[in-house]
Amino acid sequence: MSVTVSVSSFIEALNKTKYAGIGFKELLEGYAGRDVLTRAEELEDRSNRKTSFFQNLAEKHSSPHGRLWLEHVRMAGPDTRGLHLAFEKHPDVLAGQLENVLAALSRLGRMRQAREPFGYMRLPVFAEQTVGDPHGFDLDTEQGRYLIAALQVIKSHEDQKYTAKSRLSAEEVTELFGCFGIVRDELLNFVTCSGLLAAGEDGTSKAWWRAAWDEGAVLNVPLRELAGLGAVVPAGSLGRVDLPKTVFVVENSGVFSEILAGFGGTRLPPLVCANGRFKLACLLLLDKLAAEGIAIHYSGDFDPEGLQLAHQLLRRYPDRLVPGATRSTTMNDVSPGCLFPSPA
pLDDT in tens, the chain (344 residues): 677 878 778 777 777 787 777 776 676 666 666 766 566 766 676 778 888 898 888 888 888 999 999 999 988 898 899 999 999 899 999 999 999 999 999 998 888 766 543 457 889 999 999 999 999 999 889 999 999 999 999 999 988 778 888 888 877 888 888 888 888 766 668 899 999 999 988 889 999 999 999 999 999 998 888 877 889 999 987 767 667 789 999 988 999 999 998 887 778 999 999 887 788 888 889 999 999 999 999 988 888 878 888 888 888 899 998 886 444 333 333 333 334 443 33
Angle at 342 between CA 338 and CA 344, to 5 degrees: 160
pTM summary value: 0.59
Contact 41, 53 (CB under 8 A): no
d(CA 104, CA 108) in angstroms, rounded, equals: 6
In this structure, the chain runs to a length of 344
How far is 47 from 124, CA to CA, in rounded Å? 36
Q: Give the orientation angle of helix 39-60 with respect to helix 81-89, to 10 degrees.
A: 110
CATH topology of domain 190-339: Dna Topoisomerase Vi A Subunit; Chain: A, domain 2 (3.40.1360)
**CA pair distance 240, 91, nearest whole angstrom:** 64
Residue 184 · residue 225 · CB < 8 Å: no
203 contacts 175 by C-beta, under 8 angstroms: no
Helix (H, G, I), strand (E, B) or coil at 237: coil
Secondary structure class of 250 (helix, strand, coil): strand
How far apart are alpha carbons 128 and 141 in whole angstroms? 15
Contact 276, 305 (CB under 8 A): yes
Domain ranges of the chain: 7-36, 47-183, 190-339
| Strand 190-194 versus strand 271-273 pairing type | antiparallel
End-to-end CA distance of the chain: 93
Q: Read off the amino acid at residue 27.
A: L
How many whole angstroms separate alpha carbon 128 and alpha carbon 126? 6
